[in-house]
Amino acid sequence: MTNALKKLSRFLCLFYFSFSAYTLHAQSLPVYIKQISKKFNAEEATIRINNKLADYSALSGIADTLLLKVELYQKKEAIALYGKEEGRNGVLLVTLRKHADERRGTPQYIYHKNGDSTYCEQQTPATLDHDTTGKSWLNFLVKNLNAAAPVDAGSPPGLYIVYITFTVDAEGNVTDLQIPEDPGYGTSKEVRRLMKTSPKWQPGTCNGNIILYRAIQRVTFMVNEG
């Protein structure tokens, strides 16, 4: 690394951006449930949100960005797990994220090691192939992700969403990968494996200077009922 890059890499940018794998468009949870299973009747099923009983009407108010996982259990599996009374019409389990994107929408600052900050009048995110639309990220996932990982681990039909944060350094390397919450069924393990195969990114910039860019992405596994 050159001296100039070493100097610039002392900065840490706290901007965040997000694209989803197998894109989840902004739509209500009941719509996702119908995509997962045409047989499951969520209106009749027992619903638990963060393990608390809830009404069907509560589902429409949950933004997809708050979801960690959604698990669908049909009658037979539901009775085996939760008993005849609760499981007779199936069970829908919704688990919400504990760590939402708290910095989304905050001022665009970078913070230096000495505690000072710099306001970015012009900033560009770290990108794959200079693409800001998410297409390159999606192509990377399609080519390299084992989308069947949760099925291989015995998951029920549902959604399993892995949020990851990582730093893109001054040379475009992905470092310091973190997964704040694990939806289970081998999904986080698969995403860690995936990111080890990541190509180099184009570094982010602040006011024309290369910076360390802290990014957030999500990888969504959808397990459809066969």
* pLDDT tens per residue across all 226 residues of the chain: 444 444 433 333 333 333 334 444 456 899 999 999 999 999 999 999 999 999 999 999 998 899 999 999 999 999 999 999 999 999 999 999 997 654 444 446 666 666 667 778 888 899 999 998 889 999 999 999 999 999 999 999 999 999 999 999 999 999 999 999 999 999 999 999 999 999 999 999 998 999 899 999 999 999 999 7
H runs (alpha helix) in the chain: 3-8, 29-36, 75-87, 135-144, 149-152, 187-195
Amino acid, single-letter form, for residue 125: P
Residue 63 within a domain: no
- The answer to whether 203 and 168 have CB atoms below 8 angstroms apart is yes
3-state SS, 16-48, equals: CCCCECCCCCCCCHHHHHHHHCCCCCCCCCEEE
Judge contact between 70 and 158, C-beta under 8 A.
Answer: yes
Please report, in angstroms and rounded to a whole number, the separation of the first and last CA atoms in the chain: 51
In a domain, residue 77? The reply is no
* Residue 52 within a domain: no
pTM (global) more than 0.85: no
185 in any annotated domain: yes
Task: Report the distance separating Cα 96 and Cα 112, nearest Å.
Answer: 33
The count of structural domains within the chain is 1
In a domain, 225, yes or no: no
Q: Evaluate whether residue 127 is within a structural domain.
A: yes
Task: Report the alpha-carbon angle 140-142-146, nearest 5.
Answer: 110
**Is residue 122, in this structure, part of any structural domain at all?**
yes
Could you tell me the residue range of the domain that residue 215 belongs to? 3-23+110-156+164-219
Task: Identify whether 47 is part of a domain.
Answer: no
Reported in sequence order, the residue ranges of 120-198 that DSSP labels E, i.e. its strands, are: 123-124, 158-168, 174-178
